[in-house]
Amino acid sequence: MIEMQGVQKSFGPKVVLRSVDLTVPRGESMVIIGGSGTGKSVLLKCILGLIQPDGGLISLDGQDVRTAPRDAFLARFGMLFQGGALFDSLPVWQNVAFRLLRGSLKRPQEEARAIAIAKLRRVGLGPDVADLFPAELSGGMQKRVGLARAIAAEPGIIFFDEPTTGLDPIMAGVINDLIREIVVEMGATAMTITHDMTSVRAIADRVAMLHDGRVQWTGTIAEMDETPDPYVQQFIHGRAEGPIAALR
Amino acid sequence: MIARALAALGRPALGTLAALGRGGIFAGSALSHLLRPPFYAREFWLSCIQIGWLSLPVVGLTALFTGAALALQIYAGSARFSAESVVPSITAIGMVRELGPVLGGLMVAARVASSIAAEIGTMKVTEQIDALVTLSTHPMKYLTVPRMLAATLCVPVLVGIGDVIGIMGGWMVGTGRLGFNSATYMKNTWEYLEFWDVGSGLVKGAAFGFIVALTGCYYGMNSGRGAQGVGRATKSAVVAASIAILAANYLLTEVFFAA
**pLDDT per position as a tens digit, A147-200:** 999 999 889 999 999 998 888 888 888 889 888 988 888 889 999 999 889 999
- Is the pLDDT at A246 greater than 60, yes or no? no
Q: Which of A83, A99, A149 sits opposite B136 (nearest CB)?
A: A99
Q: How far apart are CA B52 and CA B47, in angstroms?
A: 8
Q: Which residues contact A188 (CB under 8 A, 6 or more apart)?
A: A27, A78, A155, A156, A157, A158, A182
Selected for mutation to probe chain B from A11, A41, A46, A50 (highest B CB count within 10 Å) is A50
Pairwise CB contact (< 8 Å): B135 & A83: no
pLDDT of the residue at B115:
96
DSSP B149-207: HHHHHHHHHHHHHHHHHHHHHHHHHHHHTS---HHHHHHHHHHH--HHHHHHHHHHHHH
Q: How far apart are CA B244 and CA B94, in angstroms?
A: 21
Q: Is A82 on the interface with B (CB under 8 A)?
A: yes
In chain A, whose CA is at the least distance from the CA of B133? A50
A95 min Cα distance to partner chain B (Å): 10
- How many CB pairs lie under 8 A apart between chains A and B? 51
Contacts of residue B136 in chain A, CB cutoff 8 Å?
70-71, 74-75, 99, 103-105
Q: Are B220 and B120 in contact (CB under 8 A)?
A: yes
pLDDT digits (tens, 9 = 90+) for A123-154: 889 999 999 999 999 988 999 999 999 999 88
A49: left (phi over 0), alpha (psi -120 to 50) or beta: left
Pairwise CB contact (< 8 Å): B134 & A79: yes
Q: Would you say the C-alpha torsion A162, A163, A168, A170 has a positive or negative sign?
A: negative
CATH class of the region A1-76+157-248: alpha beta
Contacts of residue A149 in chain B, CB cutoff 8 Å?
135
Pairwise CB contact (< 8 Å): B133 & A86: no
pLDDT of the residue at A182:
86
Strand-pair category, A214-220 with A63-64: unpaired
In chain A, whose CA is at the least distance from the CA of B38? A103
Q: Give residue A162's identity as a one-letter amino acid code.
A: E
- Is the pLDDT at A247 greater than 60, yes or no? no
Contacts of residue A45 in chain B, CB cutoff 8 Å?
130
In chain A, whose CA is at the least distance from the CA of B126? A85
B40 min Cα distance to partner chain A (Å): 9
Of A83, A10, A30, A67, which Cα lies nearest the Cα of A205?
Answer: A30
CA atoms lying within 13 Å on the CB side of residue A117: 11
Contacts of residue B146 in chain A, CB cutoff 8 Å?
none
Q: What is the mean pLDDT of residues B32-40?
A: 89
pLDDT of the residue at B15:
87
Q: What is the mean pLDDT of residues B189-216?
A: 95
Pairwise CB contact (< 8 Å): B136 & A88: no
| Model-level ipTM above the cut of 0.95 | no
Average pLDDT, chain B: 94
Contacts of residue A135 in chain B, CB cutoff 8 Å?
none
pLDDT digits (tens, 9 = 90+) for B147-179: 999 999 999 999 999 999 999 999 999 999 999
- Is the pLDDT at A248 greater than 60, yes or no? no
pLDDT digits (tens, 9 = 90+) for B87-132: 999 999 999 999 999 999 999 999 999 999 999 999 999 999 999 9
Q: Which of B38, B46, B134 sits opposite A48 (nearest CB)?
A: B134
Q: How far apart are CA A173 and CA A212, in angstroms?
A: 30
Q: Is A148 on the interface with B (CB under 8 A)?
A: no
A97 min Cα distance to partner chain B (Å): 10
Q: Would you say the C-alpha torsion B93, B252, B199, B50 has a positive or negative sign?
A: negative
Pairwise CB contact (< 8 Å): B127 & A83: yes
Q: Where are the domains of chain A?
A: 1-76+157-248, 83-154
Q: Is A79 on the interface with B (CB under 8 A)?
A: yes
- Is the pLDDT at A245 greater than 80, yes or no? no
Q: Are B69 and B187 in contact (CB under 8 A)?
A: no
Q: Are B159 and B104 in contact (CB under 8 A)?
A: yes
User: Considering chain B, what percentage of its residues have pLDDT values greater than 70?
Assistant: 100
- Is the pLDDT at B259 greater than 80, yes or no? no
pLDDT of the residue at A221:
93
A228 min Cα distance to partner chain B (Å): 37
Contacts of residue B38 in chain A, CB cutoff 8 Å?
102-103
Selected for mutation to probe chain B from A102, A145, A159 (highest B CB count within 10 Å) is A102
Q: Would you say the C-alpha torsion B238, B239, B240, B244 has a positive or negative sign?
A: positive
pLDDT of the residue at A185:
87
Q: What is the mean pLDDT of residues A202-218?
A: 93
Q: Which of B38, B122, B134 sits opposite A74 (nearest CB)?
A: B134
Binding-site residues on chain B for chain A (CB distance < 8 A): 38, 40, 46, 122-123, 126-128, 130-131, 133-137
Buried b (16+ CB within 10 A) or exposed e, B137-160: bbbbbbbbbbbbbbbbbbbbbbbb
Selected for mutation to probe chain A from B134, B138, B221 (highest A CB count within 10 Å) is B134
